[in-house]
Amino acid sequence: MSGPEERGATVPEPAERIAVHFTGDGSGTDEMSWGMWEIWHAIVDQRSSLPIGGRTALPEGTAVDDVAGELRYLMSRFPSMRTLLRFDATGRPTQELFGSGTTVLEVYDAGDADPDEVASLVEQRYRARDFAYDTEWPVRMGVVRRNGAATHLISIMCHLVMDAGGGAIMLREVQERSTAPVTGLQQLEQAGWQRSPAGQRQNDKALRHWERALRTIPARRFPPSVEQGTPRHRVGLFESRALRLAVPLIVERTGTDTQSVLQALYAIVLRRINVTGPVVVRPVVNNRFRSDLSDVVCMVAQAGISVMEIGDSTVDEVVELTRRGALTTFKHAYFHPEKLNELIARVSADRGERVDVQCFLNDRTSNRPPEEGTAADPGELARQLRKAQQDSAFRWTQEVEDTVDAFYVAFDDLPDALLTEVQTNTRYFSAEDAESFVRGLEALAIEAALDPGARTGPLVGDGPLVGDGPGSGGGPGEREPAPEQPR
C-alpha cells in the first residue's frame, strides 16, 4: 500500500521531538506468549505490522505536556508497550521486557493548515512504515498543535502490543488514570505459565480438539476461484444501518448474543454462496473469560475452530446451534500456534492433501441492544429496514499483491451502523463472491429480523444461489465465556 508521500500529499516534518522517559514493573526475556505467536504469524504472512490505533481531536486546553504525560503513563503501566523482539540465528523471535527506557513524542505544527488534515497525514505516515520489531518501541505517538495548543493526538501501535479487547481496557484505564497495580498474567508471565505442566495440558487438550476436526472436515474451504487478476489481495468495507437495526432484534428474540447471530448468518451465507459441505470457521476468541487474562493489555486473542453443519432449517435454529457450540470453541482457542501449524502439516501429510483452515470471523461489536426508535409494528419495521438497506454502501479500500490464501471477515460498531470488513485473496475467494457475501448477509439479517421462521435455503446444490453479484439483495482459571469482544 502506498504511503501519503507516494500519493502526492505533503507530510510535515516534526517541529519538535520530546524525549519521554518511563519506568515500569518487570523485566526479562522468554519465549513469546501464545497470543504473540498468533499475531506474529499474521504479521509475517501479510508482511505488515498490522498497525492499530488512529487519531482523535483533543479537548480544548490540552497542552503538549499533557500528551507527553499520557505517553509516559502508557509506557510505564503496560508491559507490552515496553517489549521488543529478539531474533536468533534462524530468525525465531523471543520477547524482551524492559523496566525502563526512553521514547519520543513527535510534535507537528499545523500552521495555516487544517489540524485534522495534518493529523491524517501523520497517521498515514505512521501506518505506512513497518515497525522495527527489535529496536523500535511498538508505540508511535504524535501531537498536532496550532498557536501553541495541542489539537489532535495520533497514536499508532504494532498489533503485537494488544488485541482490541486489551485496547478497550487500556482506554478505560487511561481515562481513569488508574494507579492500582496491573492485574492478571502479563505476556512475559504467560510464557512461563504456558511452558508449565498446566499450560501444556491446556495446549494438548486444545490440539486434540483441533485434530478431531482436521481429520474429518473437507480439505478445501471453497471451490477454486476463477479470478486470476492482480493484485490478488483485496480489502473491502460495507457500512450497513440495516444490520445495526436487524441483528439486535434477532439477538433479543433468540435470547443469545451478537456473536452467535453474526456467526450463524456468516455460516448460512457461505453455504448459500459456494460451500457444499460443513462450514468451517475460525472465530477470534479474546480469551478474557480466563480469570488470569481478564484485565490484561496485551495479545491474548486467538482464532478457534467451529465446524457447522448447515442444512434445511431456520435461521433461529442455526443461531442456537452456534450458541451451543460456543463454549467448546472458546475453551479450545488457547494453544501454541506453532504446535497447531505442526499438527496441520502432519494431518495434511497423513491425508495426502493440504487441509485448509484459513476462514476467519472476528466480531468486535459490543452486543448493543435494539436501537431506540426501532419500529414495533411488523409492516413499519419492514419499511424501516428496507429504507436503511438502500443506504448501505460497499467499497474496495485496498489492493495489494498477497499470496496468503485466506478469507477474513470482521464486524465493528459504528455510531448508527454496523461495519463489515472483508479481506480475501481473490484466487482463493473471489472479489465478486466477497461482495455478494456482505450483501447477502445483510439481506438474510433483514429477512430473519422480520420472520422468525426464515429458513437457511436455498443452499448450494439446492437451487438458485443467493447474491449472484454485486447489488443483490484447563488453563488460567475459567468462567463462562462472554461474547467475543474486539480482537
Q: What sign has the CA pseudo-torsion 200, 202, 208, 213?
A: negative
Kindly indicate whether the domain formed by 222-450 is annotated with CATH number 3.20.20.70: no
Q: In whole angstroms, how far apart are CA 413 and each of 81, 362, 365? A: 26, 12, 5
Q: What sign has the CA pseudo-torsion 470, 397, 58, 25?
A: positive
Collapsing DSSP states into helix, strand and coil, what is residue 303?
strand
Collapsing DSSP states into helix, strand and coil, what is residue 89?
coil
End-to-end CA distance of the chain: 23
Fold match between 16-161 and 222-450?
yes
Question: Domain coordinates of the chain in residue numbers?
Answer: 16-161, 222-450
Angle CA(299)–CA(188)–CA(82) in degrees, nearest 5? 75
Cβ contacts of residue 380 below 8 Å, gap of 6+? none
Count of other CB atoms within 10 angstroms of residue 44: 12
Angle CA(143)–CA(144)–CA(150) in degrees, nearest 5? 85
Global pTM?
0.90
Strands of 76-122, DSSP E: 83-87, 93-97, 100-109
Instruction: Tell the CATH topology of 16-161.
Output: Chloramphenicol Acetyltransferase (3.30.559)
For residues 94 and 88, the answer to whether their CB atoms sit within 8 Å is yes
Can you give the pLDDT of all 487 residues of the chain as single tens digits?
445 544 556 788 999 999 999 999 999 999 999 999 999 999 998 899 999 999 999 999 999 999 999 999 999 999 999 999 999 999 999 999 999 999 999 999 999 999 999 999 999 999 999 999 999 999 999 999 999 999 999 999 999 999 989 999 999 999 999 999 999 999 999 999 999 999 999 999 999 999 999 999 999 999 888 777 788 899 999 999 999 999 999 999 999 999 999 999 999 999 999 888 899 999 999 999 999 999 999 999 999 999 999 999 999 999 999 999 999 999 999 999 999 999 999 999 999 999 999 999 999 999 899 999 999 999 999 999 999 999 999 999 989 877 677 899 999 999 999 999 999 999 899 999 999 999 999 999 999 999 999 999 887 655 433 333 333 334 444 433 333 333 4
Cis peptide bond N-terminal to 248, omega within 30: no
Collapsing DSSP states into helix, strand and coil, what is residue 218?
coil
